[in-house]
Amino acid sequence: MTRPSPTFRLLAGLAVTLLALAVYSGYTILQIRSLRALETGIIDRNRADTLLLLRIQNNLNSLAVTMRDMLDTDLDQAEPYPLAAWQPQFRRIRSDLEDALAREDKLSPDERTPAQRRYLADSFRQFWDALDRIFDIAGTDLNRKNQAAEARTQIRMSLQARQAALSAAVARLLIANNASEQTAAARTQEIYAGVERNVYVFLAAMLLVILLTSLYLVHYNRRLFAEVATLSQRRSDLARQLISMQETVFREISRELHDDFGQILTAIGAMLQRADKRPGDLLEVREIVQTTLDKVRSLSHALHPVILDEVGLESALDVYLPGFERQTGIALRYEKTGHSRDLDRELSTHLYRVMQEALNNVAHHANAKRAAVRLHFLEETLVLEVQDEGDGFQKKHERGLGLVSMRERAELMNGKIEFLNGEKGGALVRVTVPLAGHAVPSQETHV
């Protein structure tokens, strides 16, 4: 049964994740814009308005100090300081106040009502009107002491009261601005806390999505790898069965050729040797029979060397290598190191086939004149090497059927096979197999 692909579920999870990311990003952008509007529209505006109110309050304090100085003038002096002399100072203060009031009216908070704005402007206008009347009453004549006294009385009774009322109004506006700024700061902290909380929630949600996706992928991959391992085991079993079946068929055909056809041709040859009539024709027939017998034996040995079952791998190599050298013209050098051991038939057959396939590759693809076959018996492993002095492995041959067959046989022996290029050219096939479980214990004969 084909297992459904996880692509749809993964794409659905990705779509949900992207949608959540888009929603969170949009919400965060709105919060940031609200925070920016709050800071620029309320906090910064309130701070600028507060600075202007402080400027107005400072000017009101300057008015209070100036009026106090005017009242401290001694009328009994021979040459009293005239009130009209204070006009330039009041004019400078008025100019600065009017500029500050115009600026403050543009920056005043939206919470301030039109009545509050008119009250401040009307109060200042009434103050300046009263101040102008006082200067009109005082006049410019130094000897008009009665008028100066009346003007000072108006300052005490009217101007100072108006100045105090204006200072109180400005102070109330400063308090209102301070309260509004505190409210905006609290709102800012609330937005920051909300954004921070949403960040934590979003990160937790993303971590949960990643965790669930990872768990799903791990679970799916474990099932997939289990299926791959099962298929690999089935493939190995099938390869083992196919190779075993192939060797069995080769062995049966080889025995049939060697036993039946070989015996028949041998008998025919013996009978022809005993014949006396027409010796010339009989000699020709005998040569044909002998040639046929050699070909049958060669074919039988190629399919499955009987000597491999009878006396083992080393004897089979001693028979095969000289024949290969005669047929191909490639000079072979055979080396063996270590103490020989009796190997089971399956291991001997696989090693023999790997050696045979490697030498066939040398004959057909390597363009080599010399090659070497080395057999190393180590303490726990057996190493078979076939090396030539030809062109080396080419990429077009890396996936050839012969190399695949050698890999399969190496896996069936629980060993490993290496296809290497020599440092000085040529190719090297090295098979390393464990001897544990493959060595046949020697049998002693008891008399």
**Mean pLDDT, residues 46-53 taken together:** 85
DSSP 372: E
290 lies in some domain: no
Q: How confident is the model at residue 22 (pLDDT cuts 50, 70, 90)?
A: confident
Q: For residue 97, give its domain range.
A: 7-217
Among 249-253, 256-260, 386-390, the range with the most confident prediction by mean pLDDT is 386-390
Q: Which residues are within 8 A (CB) of 330 and not within 5 positions of it... i.e. 6 or more apart? A: 324, 362, 363, 368, 369, 370, 371, 388
Contact 425, 390 (CB under 8 A): yes
Looking at the fold, whether 25 and 172 belong to one and the same domain comes out as yes
The secondary structure element, H or E, covering residue 386 is strand 381-388
Contact 430, 384 (CB under 8 A): yes
For residues 57 and 89, what is the distance between their CA atoms, to the nearest angstrom?
Answer: 17
For residues 230 and 47, what is the distance between their CA atoms, to the nearest angstrom?
Answer: 76
For residues 331 and 371, what is the distance between their CA atoms, to the nearest angstrom?
Answer: 6
Looking at the fold, whether 82 and 203 belong to one and the same domain comes out as yes
For residues 268 and 389, what is the distance between their CA atoms, to the nearest angstrom?
Answer: 45
For residues 363 and 427, what is the distance between their CA atoms, to the nearest angstrom?
Answer: 12
Examine the fold and report which residue of 158, 190, 217 is the final residue of a domain before the chain moves on. Answer: 217
Examine the fold and report which residue of 170, 199, 217 is the final residue of a domain before the chain moves on. Answer: 217
Mean pLDDT lowest among 19-33, 132-146, 149-163: 132-146
47 or 261: which leads in pLDDT: 47
233 lies in some domain: no
CA 209 vs CA 214, 219, 258: distances in Å: 8, 15, 71
Is the confidence at residue 234, as pLDDT, over 60? Answer: yes
Provide the token pair at 223: 């099932």
Q: Which residues are within 8 A (CB) of 286 and not within 5 positions of it... i.e. 6 or more apart? A: 269, 272, 273
Looking at the fold, whether 134 and 35 belong to one and the same domain comes out as yes
Name the residue type at position 393: F
228 lies in some domain: no
126 lies in some domain: yes
Number of domains in the chain: 2
Examine the fold and report which residue of 191, 217, 243 is the final residue of a domain before the chain moves on. Answer: 217
Q: What is the pLDDT of residue 386?
A: 93
For residues 206 and 17, what is the distance between their CA atoms, to the nearest angstrom?
Answer: 8
1 lies in some domain: no
302 lies in some domain: no
Q: What is the pLDDT of residue 431?
A: 94
Q: What is the pLDDT of residue 430?
A: 93
- Mean of the per-residue pLDDT values for the chain? 78
Provide the token pair at 262: 């070989």
**CATH code, 380:** 3.30.565.10
Looking at the fold, whether 25 and 173 belong to one and the same domain comes out as yes
Contact 73, 81 (CB under 8 A): yes
For residues 225 and 221, what is the distance between their CA atoms, to the nearest angstrom?
Answer: 6
262 lies in some domain: no
Is the confidence at residue 432, as pLDDT, over 90? Answer: yes
CA 371 vs CA 152, 216, 231: distances in Å: 132, 54, 38
Looking at the fold, whether 55 and 180 belong to one and the same domain comes out as yes
For residues 365 and 401, what is the distance between their CA atoms, to the nearest angstrom?
Answer: 14
Provide the token pair at 352: 């023999």
Other C-beta atoms lying within 10 Å of the C-beta of residue 198: 14
CA 431 vs CA 231, 243, 330, 362, 419: distances in Å: 25, 18, 22, 16, 9
For residues 284 and 290, what is the distance between their CA atoms, to the nearest angstrom?
Answer: 10
